[in-house]
Structure 1
Amino acid sequence: METNAHSTAEAALLNTPRTQGAFDTAKSSIKVYGALSATALFAVIAVSVSGDTANTFMWIRAVLLPVVAVLVYRMTGSASRGSRRAFERVRALTVVMPIAIIGVDLIPGVCPPWYAVMQVVCMLPVIRVAFVTRGPALCAAFPRGR
C-alpha cells in the first residue's frame, strides 16, 4: 500500500521542468506522427481518386494509424499526469509500432515502395518518443522495481 509521502515524492518527480519537457517533446512528436499519418491517408485517397490502385491493406492502415496517434497522444497525456500504466503502454507501443509497421512494409508485394517510404517517415517521430521515454528524466519519474 502506498503512503502519501511516496505519492508526494512521485508527484514531485513528475512536476520537474525536465520531466515535463520530456513529456512535451513526446506529445509534440506524437502530434507530428498524427499529421504525417493523416497525410498518408490523404495520399491514399489521392492515389485512389487518380485511378491508381490502393489495396485494402493500404486503406486499412491509412485509416487506423491516425486513430492510433490520437490514442497514443491521450496515453501520453495520462502518463504526464502520473499514470504508470499509461507510461508503460506508451513505452511499449513506441518500440513495437515501428518494428511492426516497417517490418510488414518490407514484405514484397504488400504495398508499393512510395507507401513503404511514407510509413517509414511516419514512424520517425514514434521512434523519437521511444528514446524520450527511455531517457533519464522519465526513467527517474517512473522508477522500476515496484
Structure 2
Amino acid sequence: METSADLGGAFSTVKKYVTLFGAVSAIVLGTVAVMAFTGHGTTAFLWIRAVILLAVAPVIHRMITRAANGSYRAFDRVRTLSTIAPIAIVGVDLIPGLCPAWYAVLQGLSALALVGVAVLTRRAPLTTAFPEQA
C-alpha cells in the first residue's frame, strides 16, 4: 500500500512536468511574438497554436490537483490527455511546411514534458491510488 506521502510526491512531480510544459509553451509564444515584432514571418497558425497550448497547461494542472484530492475522473483525463497531446503535437509538427524548424523543436520539447506525465500516471504509486478503477 502506498502512503499519502508517496502519492503527494508523485502528484507533485506530475505538477512539475506540467509546469515545465507551460513554461516551454510560454517560451514558444514569446518567441513567436519576438519574431513577429522583429519583422520575421509568422502565421496565424503559429500564434493560435502557441496560445492554445499555453492555455491548456493550467487546465491540466487543475485536473492534477483534483486527482490528488481523489478524483478518478480528473486522473483519467490527465492520463488520456498526456498520452494523446504529445502525439498530436509531434504529428502536426511533422506536416511539411506547416511550421518552421525552431517552432517544431520547441513544441517537441513541450511534448516531452507531457510524455513524462503520461509515464508517471501509469506507474505506481499513482495507479494504486485508484484501485477500484484499475
TM-score of the two chains, using structure 1 as the length reference: 0.87
- 2:79 maps to 1:61: no
Match of 1:100 among 75, 88, 103: 88
- 2:73 maps to 1:85: yes
Instruction: Give the alignment's Cα RMSD to 1 decimal.
Output: 1.5
Q: 1:116-135, aligned counterparts within 5 Å?
A: 116-135=104-123
Q: In structure 2, what is the Cα distance between the partners aligned to 1:34 and 1:124?
A: 12
Q: In structure 2, what is the Cα distance between the partners aligned to 1:112 and 1:143?
A: 44
Q: In structure 1, what is the Cα distance between the partners aligned to 2:89 and 2:98?
A: 11
Q: Which runs of 5+ in 1 are unaligned?
A: 1-11
- 2:58 maps to 1:70: yes
- The structure with the largest alpha-carbon Rg is 1
Q: In structure 1, what is the Cα distance between the partners aligned to 2:127 and 2:100?
A: 39
Structure 1 stretches of at least 4 aligned residues deviating more than 6 Å after TM superposition? none
- 2:33 maps to 1:50: no
Q: In structure 1, what is the Cα distance between the partners aligned to 2:132 and 2:55?
A: 30
Q: How far 1:59 moved relative to its partner? A: 0.5
Q: 1:18-57, aligned counterparts within 5 Å?
A: 18-57=6-45
Q: How far 1:144 moved relative to its partner? A: 5.3
Q: In structure 1, what is the Cα distance between the partners aligned to 2:17 and 2:81?
A: 14
Q: In structure 1, what is the Cα distance between the partners aligned to 2:84 and 2:36?
A: 29
Q: In structure 1, what is the Cα distance between the partners aligned to 2:6 and 2:25?
A: 28
Q: How far 1:143 moved relative to its partner? A: 2.3
Q: Which amino acid aligns with 1:44?
A: V
- 2:95 maps to 1:138: no
Percent of paired sites with the same residue:
45
The residue aligned with 1:4 is: none
Q: Which amino acid aligns with 1:16?
A: S
Q: In structure 2, what is the Cα distance between the partners aligned to 1:18 and 1:29?
A: 17
Alignment size in residue pairs:
134
